[in-house]
Amino acid sequence: MRTWFPYPLLSAGLLAIWLLLNQSVAPGTILMGSVLATGLGWVTLKLGLARSHPRRVLLMLRFGFTIALDIIRSNLAVAAVILRGRRRPPNSGFLTVDIDLDDENALALLACVMTATPGTAWLEYDRLRKSLLFHVLDMENERVWIDTVKRYEAALKEIFG
Amino acid sequence: MSHVTDLPVWAAILVCGLTVLGAAIALIGSVGLLRFTSFYERLHAPTLATSGGVLLICTASIICFAVLQSRWVFHEILIIVFVLVTTPMTLMLLGQAALYRDRVEEKHGVPLKQRPPREEPVE
Amino acid sequence: MMELTIIWSILIAQIMLGLAMAFAFYRMVRGPRAQDRILGLDTLYINAMLMLLTFGIRTANSIYFESALIVALIGFVSSIAFGKFLMRGEIIE
């Protein structure tokens, strides 16, 4: 199994994308998609990426749900900041927080989540000191943002642990 | 040939509401891009369009084509997933580039490099 | 009556997206530094993609979907290339 599909999640995702693009589940499409998924899986093996094994599907679903809620909430918050305009300019600033994640894929996921939610932007991660520098648009109080990042970190640790 | 005006009332209301709301969110994001004064604040503005705007307008498109062609057409999900995955990369890279350039020019108010200077290896 | 509402609301959405594109274009032309211009370009192509999707809804034609996907792909690659260039290249402003 491992020799055929070194990255099973990647191969399944590629097959799904191929089927969606072609908009059919005809046998020919599935065959072509499987060939592509297997071949590209081997190509990815040459890149030598870090492997990780996300477990606990239920936890992942709950994490996704939390992120969706956070994205909606921060969308509204950032829209309010922009519409408030020049009367009260945003109180933005840089924050650093210590993050203790060893798994590279978990770090990448954390970076994507933090940048995708409006209001926080990932800037720099120092591997030696394990500290992360990020920028916050509206810093009403710093504790809330640091606690948010810590919450994400705990959830990711549980998923990839 | 089906047309958007052939939609039943409930679907039409849903599609119109989602489209207008998504466009409004994208517009607010661009206003932010125009209004904010520093680059790091502007970095937050496009995420409004890429999260809220793309989600809402793609959902409207899914509903519209699903009702018109009376079969589920999900390929807008590709756009949602693609944009959600790629925009963070662009913004992270731009943020790092801006940080790098500001540090080279020693601008004021930019956090310094966190790592201490490398220690000499002990003989 | 219903038809008019649909046509007008999609038109309003398109006008809003057009304004958003204009603001992004302004940032791209005026932007004080190179990274502002790239950010403007990024926003411009995202808004253009949304505009194509609204055209697709208006004409009920799924060919616009394909072009929206291509715009998203090419825009992403170009933004990444520009960002990489900022990290290494010599820029004269």
Residue B117 within any structural domain of the chain: no
- pLDDT of B10 over the 90 cut: no
Q: Which domain holds residue B37?
A: 4-104
Q: What is the pLDDT of residue B1?
A: 44
Q: What is the pLDDT of residues A66-125, one digit of tens each?
A: 988 988 888 888 888 888 877 777 778 888 888 888 778 888 888 888 888 888 888 888
Tell me the helices (H) and strands (E) count for chain B, helix number first. Answer: 5, 0
Q: Give the domain ranges of chain A.
A: 8-47, 57-160
Nearest C-alpha in C relative to B44? C39
Number of domains in chain B: 1
User: Is B10's Cβ below 8 Å from some Cβ in C?
Assistant: no
Residue B120 within any structural domain of the chain: no
* Lowest pLDDT segment from A17-31, B97-111, C8-22: B97-111
Q: Which domain holds residue C57?
A: 2-88
Q: What is the pLDDT of residue C11?
A: 92
Residue B21 within any structural domain of the chain: yes
| Average pLDDT value for chain A | 83
For residues B5-33, give the mean pLDDT: 88
Residue C20 within any structural domain of the chain: yes
Number of domains in chain C: 1
B residues 23..42 contacting C (CB < 8 A) = 23-24, 26-27, 29-31, 33-34, 39, 42
Own/partner contacts of A11-14, CB < 8 Å, gap of 24 or more, are A11/A37, A11/A38, A11/A40, A11/A41, A12/A37, A14/A40, A14/A41
Q: What is the pLDDT of residues B77-118, one digit of tens each?
A: 888 888 888 988 999 999 888 888 888 877 777 777 655 545
Do A117 and B114 count as a contact with CB atoms less than 8 A apart? no
DSSP state of B49: I
Residue C93 within any structural domain of the chain: no
Q: What is the pLDDT of residues A92-108, one digit of tens each?
A: 888 888 888 877 888 88
Was domain A57-160 assigned CATH 3.30.420? no
